[in-house]
Structure 1
Amino acid sequence: MEIRDLTPDDLDAALDLRRRAFGPISAAEAGAWRHAVTPVLEEGRYLGVFDGSRLAGAARLRPFTQWWHGRPQPMAGVAGVTVSPEDRGRGVGTRLMRAVLDRGVALGEAVSVLFPATTPIYRSLGYEHGGGQRKVTLPAEALRGLRPAGQVKLRRMGPDDAAELIAVLHRVYAGLRASGPITYDERTWRLWLADDNDFRYLADDGYVVYRWNGENIRVVNLVAGSAETARALWSMVGTSSSVAKNVVAPLAPDDPVLWLLPERSQDHVEDQRWMFRVLDVAAAVERRGYPAAVACDAVVTVEDPVRGGGTWRLEIADGSGTATPVTAGAPAAVLSANGLSALYCGVPTGTLRLAGLMTGDDRHDEALDAAFAAKAYTLDYF
């Protein structure tokens, strides 16, 4: 079998794989998919496994920006991983994903995220559960009452607002010191902002995209950088309460709307988990943000049979970090690739040790917990 980049001539076969993996696709969905993936073919972001001339598996690396403690970095979002039914169980998926990891590094991306259909194959390649997309059901009538004290300027948003929307997201996520959420590139945002079924509004420090979903309202995204904007956006969504009983929205674990609701005794949450993978230790540590008040100096050994492990000195201070290769021999905390990936997402060292993902020197565990502390989430499923 051969692994190579897909070309426009391979898209019919790739679409057939998607149908076999995920079910029927309408003509409109197929057209939108072709429109979205065609530009990435020349960027080396769509790989296929070929048995002769037949496409046996495929996967796409989407170019996202991901935020870690308020600092952005490029991230490889792995999507559309498909293997032909007759080729399953032959190692095609593992071979494909190894190539995906290598390609992510070649593209300059030090971290990767995917939503797993099954966990074992991705765990075997160093991915670990890092966060989730939490969809919370909220009462529409309660949202309607969240009026801002002052006037918040909201305007309708379309494809030409993509660049401004990205700038707003960058300001808000940096200010919130967010960990885990992603932003799309301008090309992708222009596609999303052209959907006639969505209602889209932009403020100076926030935005909302929502749509009808049966008898309920589904919020696609809502991000706000101030209390007044949060109230304005949520109350506007709530104006549909004369027809819609509930609003289903993806929320950060500590989204302020959960504290603004006048009544909250039980959360109704659907949590779609995502898995995270460090591809390049030094670059990933350097690109991440950290609490400015935390300092850490620890030696860690990473056991990574897929990407190649090693021993690094982690030095974190003033909100920044470095990972410098050192000769093994000094006392070190030992992390599997999965363990390092989970630690990066804020999973405590105590959990990692009990799960068998971390062993060795424990003198710096508390400092590592403080440095990598995070409630990782994303608002987007891909």
Structure 2
Amino acid sequence: MEIRDITPKDLDDVLDVRRRSFGPLPAADREKWCQATLPVLAEGRYLGVFDGSRLAAAARLRRFTQWWHGRPQPMAAIAGVTVNPEDRGRGVGNSLMRAVMDRAAELGDAVSALYPATTPIYRGVGYEHAGAMRTVRLPAESLRRIRPSGQVELRRMGPGDGGALDSVLRRAHAAARSSGPISYGEQMWDQLLGNENDFLYLADDGYVVYRWKGDDIEVENLVATSPDTLRALWSMVGSASSIARDIVATVAPDDPVLWLLPDRAKEQVTETRWMFRVLDVAAAVERRGYPAQAACDAVVTVDDPTRGGGTWRLDISGGSGTATPAEGAGVTLSVNGFSALYAGVPPYTLRLSGLMSGDDRYDQALEAAFAARPYMLDYF
């Protein structure tokens, strides 16, 4: 078996593996998929496992931006992990994931995330459950009753507005001190904004992407940084209540729309879980944001048999952190445990689940420094 970069001439084989793993891609979408994939190939972000000339497995890693406590950093988004049926159970997927992680680190990504089809293979190479994409079903009438509180100028979006949308996201997630959400970047947003079935509206400090889905309205993204824009966008979505009964919306766990609803007793919520992994401890700690009032000086050993672990002194204060090589005993975590800690899972949970051991004197400081409620608004 050989692992190497996927090239344009391999794309038909990639689609065949994809068909055997996820089902066929509609013919109308094949060309669109190929065009969206070519930039990934050019960046060295699509790897395949080859048995001679035959493609056995493939995976792509896109470089998105991810926020942690309001600070953005590059993130390797792992997607399209596919293995031919006849090659499953031979360790092919495990070898591929190790190569994908090495490539991500070579390209400068210190963290990675993915939506798992199954947990064990990814947990086995250091990924751990961190957050979810949270979808809630709301009565359309309740959103229609949210009244705009000011004059907000909304305009339709389309290809060419990806940069403006990305700018809104950066300001919104910094202001909210968000943890977990991503941005695709201007180029990919421009591609996504070309979907003729989507309704796309942009304000100076917010935007919405929504569409009809059967008899309901599906809100894929709605982000705003001011009360007036928040009300204007949700009220516009709710204006479909004369036809649509429900709005199915992807929202943050503490999305402010949930506090604007006139009545809120029971909610139908669906969570699609995602997993997270730290690839480079020092770079990941330095790139993350932290609560300004949190202070932590802890010795942490990370056991990472896949990429090599070590012992670091974590020094976190004033909203920033560093990790420098150290010696001595302190807290010990598997890489799964450290990745979960980074994503806000508290030390108490990690200790009870066997992901953390050793000196507990740092636990409160670590919990305060890495506190987070991670979520995503996008599936990849």
How would you bin the TM-score normalised by the shorter chain? over 0.9
**Counterpart for residue 241 of structure 2:** 241
2:361 maps to: 363
* Letter aligned with residue 171 of structure 2: R
Over the residues paired in the alignment, what is the CA RMSD in angstroms? Answer: 0.6
Structure 2 distance, partners of 1:27, 1:231, is 40
CA distance in 1, matches of 2:77, 2:60: 8
1:151 maps to a residue whose letter is Q
Task: Give, in whole Å, the separation in 1 of the partners of 2:216 and 2:286.
Answer: 43
1:7 aligns with 2:7: yes
Deviations 1:294-348 (A, max 9, x none): 1110000000000101000000000000000112x2x310000000000011001
Q: Residue type of the partner of 2:300? A: V
> Which whole-Å deviations, capped at 9, do the CAs of 1:133-175 have from their partners, x for residues lacking one?
0000011111011112111111101111111111111111101
Q: Quick one: distance in 2 between partners of 1:72 and 1:42? A: 24
Distance in 1 (alpha carbons) for counterparts of 2:368 and 2:155: 40
Tell whether 2:122 aligns with 1:122: yes
CA shift at 1:32, angstroms? 1.4
Letter in 1 for 2:223: V
Q: Structure 1 residue 8: deviation in Å?
A: 0.5
Question: With structure 2 as the length reference, what TM-score do the two structures score?
Answer: 0.99
The aligned residue for residue 336 of structure 1 is 334
SS across alignment from 2:160: helix
1:273 aligns with 2:301: no
Q: Which structure 1 segments of 5+ residues have no match?
A: none
- Equivalence map 1:39-188=2 (5 Å): 39-188=39-188
Q: Return the offset for 1:362.
A: 0.5
In structure 1, distance between residues paired with 2:266 and 2:251: 15
- The CA deviation at 1:57 is 0.2
Partner of 1:301: 301
Distance across 2 between alignment mates of 1:104 and 1:24: 28
Question: Quick one: percent identity of the two aligned structures?
Answer: 69
Asked if residue 291 in structure 1 is aligned to residue 280 in structure 2, the reply is: no
How many angstroms apart in 2 are the aligned matches of 1:377 and 1:169?
14
Mapped to 1, the partners of 2:339 and 2:305 lie a distance apart of 14
**What residue number does 1:372 align with?**
370
Is 1:193 aligned to residue 198 of structure 2? no
What amino acid sits opposite 1:192 in the alignment? L
Q: 1:220 Cα shift?
A: 1.0
AA of the residue aligned to 1:171 = R
**Number of residue pairs the alignment of both structures matches:** 380
Range that drifts further, 143-152 or 315-324: 143-152
1:346 matched to 2:344:
yes
Where in structure 1 do 4 or more consecutive aligned residues deviate above 4 Å?
none
Structure 2 unaligned residues grouped into runs of 5+ = none
Matches of 2:40 and 2:124 in 1, distance apart? Answer: 28
By how many angstroms is 1:2 displaced? 0.1
Q: Which amino acid aligns with 1:337?
A: V
Whole-angstrom CA distance in 1 between matches of 2:172 and 2:276: 23
Deviates more, 1:29-38 or 1:238-247: 29-38
> Which amino acid counterpart does residue 175 of structure 1 have in structure 2?
A
